[in-house]
Amino acid sequence: MTLYINCCVREESRTERLAKAVLRKLGGEFTELNLYEENLKPLDRDTLNKRTALIEKGDYRDPMFDYAKQFANADTIVIAAPYWDLSFPATLKTYIENIYITGIVSAYDEKGMPVGLCKATELYYVTTAGGPYDPTYSYGYIESLAKNFFGIPETYLVKAEMLDIEGNDAEETLNLEIDRIMKNGIL
């Protein structure tokens, strides 16, 4: 099962259009998790205390762990998020805060080193940017989490950039990238 994590808020989202091309090319069924339709909340003192206590007991039955279980069980992961403020929307960070559960997506070995527990072998990060795209605080961060902590060995960036630069034809740039994916493959 492919898990499509949709963090695109605009109705006419270009990132979402690009992600749909990636999903079409991957083929097969996918489950969409639209982060803006979920009731995601950042951790606060109460939820963090509750979560820590449950993790210490090894009790993962609470619904607060459902997002992490869904993420850990996916075969392929596609994340769609626009480039915002050199990074991605805070809603995606809130989601990550909710899924990063020791014992579900990640664990520590006897030397205290992180070991990934996720089933996925591939993660695609899809984004579009108004100007030039710098992956450091968005794709770079997700890549690091995936490879170093979640056990997802392959991560790929799919992007269209410079879409809001005056004189550039955003539709043309986006359509060219979508056509390229459909004809030549995602990468």
Ligand X SMILES: Cc1cc2nc3c(=O)[nH]c(=O)nc-3n(C[C@H](O)[C@H](O)[C@H](O)COP(=O)(O)O)c2cc1C
Contact set with ligand X (CB under 6 A): 8, 10, 13-16, 82-86, 128-131, 163-164
Give the integer Cα–Cα distance in Å for 172 and 176. 6
DSSP 14: H
Strands (E), the chain: 2-6, 30-34, 76-80, 106-108, 114-116, 122-128, 154-160
Name the minimum Å distance from CB 16 to ligand X. 6
For residue 140 the two structure tokens come to 């770079």
Question: Between residues 11 and 29, which has the closer beta carbon with respect to ligand X?
Answer: 11
Name the minimum Å distance from CB 84 to ligand X. 4
Name the minimum Å distance from CB 98 to ligand X. 22
DSSP 142: H
Question: Between residues 95 and 149, which has the closer beta carbon with respect to ligand X?
Answer: 95
Question: Between residues 15 and 76, which has the closer beta carbon with respect to ligand X?
Answer: 15
